[in-house]
Amino acid sequence: MRQRSPHRTGWTLVLPLLVFTLVTFLAPIGFMLWKSVYDPEVAGLLGQTRQALAKWQTSTGLPGPEGFDALSRDLRDLTGDGRVSQLALRLNRERSGMRQLIEVTADAIAEYDRPLLEIDPRWGDPDTWVLLKRMTQPLTARYFLSAVDLQQTPQGSIVRQDESRRIYVYLFGRTILVASVVTAVCIILGYPFAYALATARPRMQRLLFFIVMLPFWTSLLVRTTAWIVLLQRRGVLNEILVAMNIVSERSRLELIYNLSGTLIVMTHVLLPFFVLPLYAVMKGIPKQYVRAGKSLGAGPVRVFLRIYLPMTLPGVLAGAALVFILSLGYYVTPALVGGRTGQLISNQIAFHVQTSLNWGLAAALGSILLVIVVVLTMLLSRVTQRGVL
Amino acid sequence: MSISRLARATGLCVLGLGIPSSFAAESLTIASFGGQYTASQRQAHYEPFSKETGVDIKSVDYNGGLAELVAQVRSGSVSWDVVDVEMQDLDRGCADGLFEKVDIDALPAGADKRAAKDDFLDGALQPCGVGSVVWSNVIAVNEPAFQDAKPQTIEDFFDVERFPGKRGLPKRPNALLEWALMADGVAPGDVYATLSSEEGVDRAFRKLDTIKDQAVFWETGAQMIQLLVDGEVAMSTAYNGRVQGAISDEGKPLRILWDRQIWNADYYAVVKGTHAKKEADAFVRYATGTVPLAAQTGFIAYGPVRRSAEALINPAKAANLPTAKANFRHALAFNSKWWTDHGEAISERYASWLAR
Amino acid sequence: MLNAAVKNRPPSGATFEHAVVLQNVVKSYDGTTQVVKGVDLSVRSGEFLTILGPSGSGKTSLLMMLAGFEQPSDGAIIIGGRDVSRQPAHKRNIGMVFQQYALFPHLTVAQNLAFPLEMRRMGRREIDDRVGWALNLVKLEGLGARRPAQLSGGQQQRIAVARALIFEPQLVLMDEPLGALDKQLRQQMQDEIARLHHELRPTIIYVTHDQGEAISLSDRVAVFEGGKISQIDPPTALYNAPRNDFVAGFIGENNRIPARIISHGPPSRLAVSGRAIVSALSVDIAPTETHACIMIRPERLRRVAHLCQLPNTIDVVVSEVSYHGDSYRLRASLDDGIDVITRIPNDGTQSIPDIGESILLGWSTEDARAFAGGVSATIR
């Protein structure tokens, strides 16, 4: 018997995990990326129209009669299949009123077979046809444009979304801001805590571990309810402050259902993700480094700044990166306690996946978030590699 | 599975008067909005149905929207058999092929022998769903928040100077924009015409701007009640049934402001591709019968969609229904067609307004 | 109490010659058991003193107190004429070499060496000069830009030694500095430390459990046992004239022959294996007819052809012969089963006995030392 090459054995060992990752992770991400630029729904419904409009230059006004004919034929076919409402709803998502136009037109064609222009004057508007031409192209940039508050005018130029409809750039900004603040607070609160954890006696250590792991062991709903009870305007904290005359009845603190609610609760939930990697790093630093520093003449402050802090930096970076990246994707907590001002980009993604069913836009927003995370991760790994160890 | 197929194939299911005597499937899964609403369905619809047919009903809570259904139907693994949906989702789901078609002729006649077609309220019978309750969007007032003057009208809801206090608002714009226009002086009959123009929408949002600082937003009915009960908001947009429940069952100091209520209906729809279509259809026919619909008003203050059910309702309860005469004076019917046409654009704008 | 008293007067018996003086230093972690039980010790300036002892003997605790990482429970530590018992480590000006090197992994070699100088706020130029000098000193020029992880174990330890010397501390502590190195490197490093001590003459207190290192490096060795100094002497005295059987057993290989005291000397006379009467120098006094133990170094136990060749002889049977290149090592048994070890140089002058052969071993009286008591269990 010939021996298996070690190379092949290696592959066999990682294959199950590879397949698992491929199926559960890479494939969905690939699907999402694809979905954000590929939308064949209208092209599939209006096959003939698509062909007929292929050669039409949008700058030349209305398309030729073959375009009108093709659309009539497509609508008649769809009426037969009962798929007019699907087309109507899909186009309506791009422009309000299209549902009504398509349904009226399809009904009229089915009954009298009249020319489109007689059925509704909107078919004389080149913009309607531009929309159809764009929508029948399966490959599209419109989701990515929407995701950064841009739109394409019927004339083809790319302009910013109307002031009253801009939202995503603003929310991306807020998301990054929130993630940064949460990360910063986690560092400030978590560093001393991790140190205490790493240096505590066993009994104290168990207690501290319990405290830091508590959010992991509590269900999301219980945790959130607890925060609401604690933080709301008539909650425990405010009652105490009012009773102690620190704040007045009129000026109770708004700690929840706004940005501060999102910040407080996210910090609480994500703190373990910062503390645990840092704790692991701190635990791995032998006492003798600090001793060496002292013996070489460094006082406590300088030992900390010059030796302990730099040596724990990989843990700080790892923990901070974890918290930051998780923050970028948080949406359940902001949805529950964030109120209006505490909503993040992920809430919009969830909205488009679950409620508006605009999966293309959700995919585009998700892809942008993914790119931000990947870029940050790469930057971070470069810093860690160059920096320490 | 194979036995149930065999049973169906050999026609072992015997149906009598629309109420089947034996079924292949042992259970149905029904998705609804949870809380007190589902409790009313369980008591008035699920349990009696199970008793009569032996089919167990598993109740699942969801939050409206079609996402889960799309996922189930597209992936071919349908785990919900029947869903309680709002009009807008029903329309859209029907167009997207998420629901089975309704056989209107198979629906039982009313208790007064009126044919189903004539017994149901207008709009309660849809190609893909059968109406069950009329419910209403109302304003709920937290009474202790107002010691002197009490808010009475929709204008008062938008007047934070005379009636200071936080306002609970929904995360979806449905009904809210209508109220904003009516509070700004638009007559109920002109609301949707006004909203159809860009200026009308601007006008509604300008009105919303006046209470934005005081707004607290809720996503689910349960959250809305919690905000009111905890005193976090002084008034909130609300579903009348939930508020009535908190008042009569739990004695909470809340009050319903019926002025300019915007009423709507919920529907039972059978999910496309369910493995228990026969049982699901039987359930829908049963639950939308006169007696179960009348019974439901005993558990939640939502009105029945069958005219024949009115005669069977306890008069004390009837006064709290949206359909009661006194409550219905300034009512506006929710126009789900309009929302299907404009919902996408309005939701985007509302989301943008909300975020900033 | 004691400290306050000591501070105000010059330490007794200490002169300025003495870089380090320990006075009755006691350490207890729990208040009842003493790990260090009253140590008095003076180290001369420029001296290389080794603290030798098995693990658990209290030598590490003593080192921690010297370095300032622990405080003595009682007694005083005087370094450079000043009582530093309560002074924190970073103010003591002591260089320390750790077993695991303890080079800062996030700093380069040069930055590691510069660290103590920066702590002393030395100018940049002077720091650079000194770092160059130190790298030169340990023959690692050109490695200044590397990180510790890029160096071999031996190189790392040389940098660690250089770092402990670079700021000219008044005392250098070395805590088992060769413990992490393999055998060959250990010998090289030992030579290196000896060379550095010879060149720079720092005062060094060196802690180890390896008697080989202790003997070859030190001016004096303090043998630690049970929290106390068992004997402190130059290596030769320690080797040739151990003051008790612990020291005798701990330093070098030793034969232990049980015996019965017949008369006190000098030299004392003892009976071995019930028959042979031999003489030895007695170290401590015990009544006659009590048990004693005779210690003879293997190299001082010689094979003799007949009884008169040396004053003391015993009959043994060879049980094991092993070849060691420069010598043969013989294990032989007395007739009551006691084993002794001897070496026969491989110089061609002597024949090598076979296993099972009866031979005669003898020694000069001054090479044998008798200690009261039986063969103690603590001796290897």
* Domain presence at residue B18: no
Residue A295's Cβ-count burial label (10 Å; 0-12, 13-18, 19+) is buried
Contact B8, B24 (CB under 8 A): yes
Same-domain pairing of B232 and B150: yes
Which pLDDT value is given to residue B4? 41
The gap between the terminal CA atoms of chain C, to the nearest Å, is 42
pLDDT band at C291 (very low <50, low <70, confident <90, very high): confident
Minimal CA–CA distance to B85: which of B71, B72, B67, B103? B67
* Domain presence at residue B93: yes
Same-domain pairing of B207 and B345: yes
Same-domain pairing of B217 and B246: yes
- Per the CB < 8 Å rule, is B355 touching A167? yes
**Among A86-100, B91-105, B173-187, which range has the highest average pLDDT?**
B173-187
* Domain presence at residue B190: yes
* Domain CATH code at residue B123: 3.40.190.10
SS (H, E, C) chain B: CHHHHHHHHCCCCCEECCEECCCCCCEEEEEECCHHHHHHHHHHHHHHHHHHHCCEEEEEECCCCCHHHHHHHHHCCCCCCEEEEEHHHHHHHHHCCCECCCCHHHCCCCCCCCCHHHHECCCCEECCEEEEEEEEEEEEEEHHHCCCCCCCCHHHHCCCCCCCCCEEEECCCCCHHHHHHHHCCCCHHHHHHHHCCHHHHHHHHHHHHHHHCCEEEECCHHHHHHHHHCCCCCEEEEEHHHHHHHHHCCCCCEEEEEEEEEEEEEEEEEECCCCCHHHHHHHHHHHCCHHHHHHHCCCCCCEECEHHHHHHCCHHHHCCCCCCHHHHCCCEECCHHHHHHHHHHHHHHHHHHHHC
In this complex, whether B and C touch, counting 3 or more CB pairs under 8 angstroms, is no
Minimal CA–CA distance to C332: which of C354, C350, C310, C349? C354
- Top residue of B126, B341, B347, B354 to mutate, by most chain A CBs within 10 Å, is B341
Four-point Cα dihedral A265, A268, A273, A277, nearest 10: 150
- Per the CB < 8 Å rule, is A297 touching C120? yes
CA distances from A345 to A148, A183, A201, A263 (A): 12, 17, 43, 15
Same-domain pairing of A202 and A295: yes
Listing DSSP states for A259-312 in one string gives HHHHHHHHHHHHHHHHHHHHHHHHHTS-HHHHHHHHHTT--HHHHIIIIIHHHH
Domain of A58, in residue numbers: 41-137
Cβ–Cβ contact C98 with A under 8 A: yes
Same-domain pairing of B37 and B88: yes
Q: Which residues contact C175 (CB under 8 A, 6 or more apart)?
A: C60, C63, C96, C97, C98, C99, C207
Four-point Cα dihedral C195, C201, C203, C206, nearest 10: 10
Q: Please tell me which of the candidates C90, C92, C102 has its beta carbon nearest to residue A298.
A: C90
* Domain presence at residue B236: yes
**Confidence (pTM):** 0.79
Q: Please tell me which of the candidates B68, B232, B344 has its beta carbon nearest to residue A232.
A: B232
Side chain identity at A30, as an amino acid letter? G
Interchain CB contacts (distance < 8 Å): A and B: 84
Contact C346, C270 (CB under 8 A): no
Listing DSSP states for C292-355 in one string gives EEEEE-GGG-EEESSGGGSSEEEEEEEEEEEE-SSEEEEEEE-TTS-EEEEEEESSSSSPPPPT
* Domain CATH code at residue A329: 1.10.3720.10
Same-domain pairing of A177 and A305: yes
Q: Please tell me which of the candidates C90, C104, C106 has its beta carbon nearest to residue A297.
A: C90
Query: How many other C-beta atoms can be found within 10 angstroms of the C-beta atom of residue B17?
Result: 7
CA distances from A32 to A24, A29, A38, A93, A168 (A): 12, 5, 10, 20, 18
Listing DSSP states for A55-68 in one string gives T--GGGSSPPHHHH
Which pLDDT value is given to residue A273? 93
* Domain presence at residue B223: yes
Same-domain pairing of B154 and B198: yes
Q: DSSP alpha helices (H): ranges in chain C?
A: 2-7, 59-67, 109-119, 124-137, 153-165, 183-200, 211-217, 235-240, 245-250
Same-domain pairing of B112 and B36: yes
- The interface residues of chain B toward chain A in range 297-326, judged by CB-CB distance below 8 A, are none
Average pLDDT over residues B182-198: 94
Same-domain pairing of B169 and B182: yes
* Domain presence at residue B346: yes
Quote the radius of gyration of chain C (alpha carbons, Å): 25
- Top residue of C79, C90, C99, C172 to mutate, by most chain A CBs within 10 Å, is C90
Chain A positions in Cβ-Cβ contact with residue B342 (cut-off 8 Å) = 96-97
Q: Is pLDDT above 80 for C8?
A: no
Same-domain pairing of B339 and B196: yes
Average pLDDT over residues B83-111: 91
Same-domain pairing of B119 and B240: no
Which pLDDT value is given to residue C5? 38
Helix (H, G, I), strand (E, B) or coil at C280: strand
Per-residue pLDDT of chain A (389 residues; tens, 9 = 90+): 455 566 777 788 888 888 998 888 899 899 989 999 999 999 999 999 999 998 898 888 899 899 999 999 999 999 877 788 889 888 988 888 898 899 899 989 988 888 898 899 999 999 999 999 999 999 999 999 999 999 988 888 899 988 888 999 999 999 999 999 999 999 999 999 999 999 999 999 999 999 888 888 888 888 888 998 999 888 999 999 999 999 888 888 889 888 999 999 999 989 999 999 999 999 999 999 999 999 999 999 999 999 999 999 989 998 999 999 999 988 888 888 888 888 899 999 988 888 788 889 999 999 999 999 999 888 888 877 655 44
Which pLDDT value is given to residue C374? 58
pLDDT band at C14 (very low <50, low <70, confident <90, very high): very low
Same-domain pairing of A279 and A188: yes
Same-domain pairing of A248 and A303: yes
Same-domain pairing of A184 and A317: yes
Same-domain pairing of A236 and A126: no
Instruction: Extract the tokens encoding B191.
Output: 């609301």
Which pLDDT value is given to residue C16? 52
* Least Cα separation, residue B306 to chain A (angstroms): 28
Q: Is pLDDT above 80 for C168?
A: yes
Same-domain pairing of B166 and B272: no
Same-domain pairing of A24 and A5: yes
Weakest-pLDDT range from A84-88, A95-99, B4-8, B337-341? B4-8
Q: How many domains does chain B have?
A: 2
Per-residue pLDDT of C190-217, as tens digits, reads 999 999 999 999 999 999 998 889 989 9
Chain A positions in Cβ-Cβ contact with residue C96 (cut-off 8 Å) = 291-292, 295-296
- Per the CB < 8 Å rule, is A233 touching B166? yes
Helix (H, G, I), strand (E, B) or coil at A314: helix
Contact C257, C344 (CB under 8 A): no
Same-domain pairing of B130 and B140: no
Q: How many Cα atoms are found within 13 Å in the side-chain-facing hemisphere of C161? A: 29
Same-domain pairing of A133 and A188: no
* Domain presence at residue B16: no
Q: Which residues contact A100 (CB under 8 A, 6 or more apart)?
A: A88, A92, B341
Helix (H, G, I), strand (E, B) or coil at A72: helix
* Domain presence at residue A145: no
Which pLDDT value is given to residue B348? 86
What is the distance between the alpha carbons of residues A303 and A291, in angstroms, rounded to a whole number? Answer: 9
Per-residue pLDDT of B13-40, as tens digits, reads 333 344 444 566 789 999 999 888 999 9
Helix (H, G, I), strand (E, B) or coil at C257: strand
Contact A113, A88 (CB under 8 A): no
* Domain presence at residue B167: yes
Same-domain pairing of A259 and A119: no
- Top residue of A296, A312, A384 to mutate, by most chain C CBs within 10 Å, is A296
CA distances from A153 to A169, B38, C297, C309 (A): 19, 47, 103, 120
The gap between the terminal CA atoms of chain B, to the nearest Å, is 53
Per-residue pLDDT of C205-259, as tens digits, reads 999 998 889 989 999 999 999 899 999 999 998 888 888 878 887 887 888 888 8
Same-domain pairing of B246 and B302: no
Q: How many domains does chain A have?
A: 3
Q: Which of A93, A114, A137 is the last residue of a domain?
A: A137
Q: Please tell me which of the candidates A297, A302, A307 has its beta carbon nearest to residue C104.
A: A307
Chain A positions in Cβ-Cβ contact with residue B355 (cut-off 8 Å) = 167, 170-171, 174, 340, 343, 348
Which pLDDT value is given to residue A220? 82
Same-domain pairing of A221 and A302: yes
Which pLDDT value is given to residue C3? 41
The ipTM assigned to this model is 0.81
Which pLDDT value is given to residue C9? 39
Domain of B249, in residue numbers: 136-258+329-355
- Per the CB < 8 Å rule, is C98 touching A288? yes
Which pLDDT value is given to residue B347? 87
Distance of CA A317 to the CA centre of its chain: 22
Same-domain pairing of A130 and A262: no
**DSSP 8-state assignment for residue A25:** I
Which pLDDT value is given to residue A385? 67
Angle at A334 between CA A329 and CA A338, to 5 degrees: 150
Instruction: Extract the tokens encoding C158.
Output: 């040389």
- Per the CB < 8 Å rule, is C105 touching A302? no
Chain B partners (3+ C-beta pairs within 8 A)? A
- Per the CB < 8 Å rule, is C102 touching A292? yes
Same-domain pairing of A26 and A45: no
* Domain presence at residue A148: no
Q: Which helix (H) or strand (E) holds C28?
A: strand C18-28
Mean pLDDT of chain B: 89
Which residues share a beta bridge with B303? B134
Contact A212, A272 (CB under 8 A): yes
